[in-house]
Structure 1
Amino acid sequence: MKVSQHLWFEKDMEEAVRFYTSLIPGSSVDWISAVPADTPSGPAGSVRLAGFTLGDQRYMAIEAGPLDTFNHSFSIIVGCDSQEEIDRLWEALSEGGQVEQCGWLRDRWGLCWQITPTRLGELMSDPDPEKAKRVAEAMLKMVKFDIAGLEAAARG
């Protein structure tokens, strides 16, 4: 059995898919095609499909005009090992989009992402509840995550 996520784009699906796969190491555009027959969304060729891989996750995408907009009910979370990775992805994905609290952003297509340091999970699960609490409080004040700031909060 194979499971993959599905994204519906009003327009510019191929641009989005190529952009996403250029940002995440180990990613690829696996295929892109147009639906050859007329559909309720338009004439032959106006509906486009794609299969792609982001890191270790498979996705499918469709470009078929307006339906539902992206929202926080579905998001992509990327765990980063360094501040440089966080900064690179944050800058690229937030360009033309909107930044939010706690490492969340919407890209220019409206897709929600959370760019998180892998270190955050380690700090939040520390056996010292006061340390974990300080990290959580620091995290809640951040827009883009700052690993050094989280580490400082952990130290008190």
Structure 2
Amino acid sequence: MNKLTPFLWFNDQAEEAARFYTAVFKNAKLGEVSPMATSFELEGVGFTAFNGGPRFSFTEAISLYVNCETQGEVDYYWERLGEGGKEQQCGWLKDKFGISWQIIPSLLPKLFSSPDRERANRAVQAMLQMTKIDMAKLQEAYDG
């Protein structure tokens, strides 16, 4: 067992959620499944999904960040994780279980951390107008 493992509290959909996430991510595997909890791994990170009842729900205070190298990856994760969920601003979405995801291209922090603050600000302003991040539009705004 890992030293740290994200523990996700579901009403009664722990196994369904774990199976959904392991179907979305290519580097994923389902672990032990029981009526109370299901373990799974995504991209080398272990998770436990727990059926704890409706006492708690997910908020944007915690999100899962997906670092994407290409627009194709952004599109894939946006579409798959967003199935039955809700799109939000700036590359965020809530999946059908209520978990918040940030689907972010690696280009974004590179543009934002540019020493040329004017160019970086143009990229930020473009991103603020987006739901799903469009890498070409970010680069175009950055380049001016």
Task: Tell me the TM-score normalized by structure 2.
Answer: 0.94
Match of 1:32 in 2: 33
SS in structure 1 at match of 2:89: coil
DSSP 3-state at the match of 2:61: coil
Q: 1:96-124: per-residue Cα shift (whole Å, max 9, x none)?
A: 11111001111111111110101111111
Aligned to 2:105, which of 85, 109, 117?
A: 117
SS at match of 2:72: helix
Cα deviation 1:15-55 (Å, max 9, x = unaligned): 11111112123221122123xxxxxxxxxxxxx21111111
Partner of 2:23: 22
| 1:67 Cα deviation from its structure 2 partner | 1.4
Alignment of 1:1-156 (within 5 A): 2-34=3-35, 48-156=36-144
AA at the equivalent of 1:68: F
Structure 1 spans left out of the alignment, 5+ residues: 35-47
Q: SS state of the match for residue 151, structure 1? A: helix
Specify the SS of the correspondent of 2:102: strand
TM-score (norm 1): 0.87
Is there any run of 5+ residues in structure 2 with no aligned partner, and where? Answer: none
Give SS of 2:114's match. coil
Alpha-carbon distance in structure 2 between the residues aligned to 1:30 and 1:127 = 45
Number of residue-to-residue matches in the alignment: 143
> After TM superposition, which residue ranges in structure 1, 4 or more long, deviate above 2 angstroms?
none
CA-based RMSD of the aligned residues comes to: 1.2
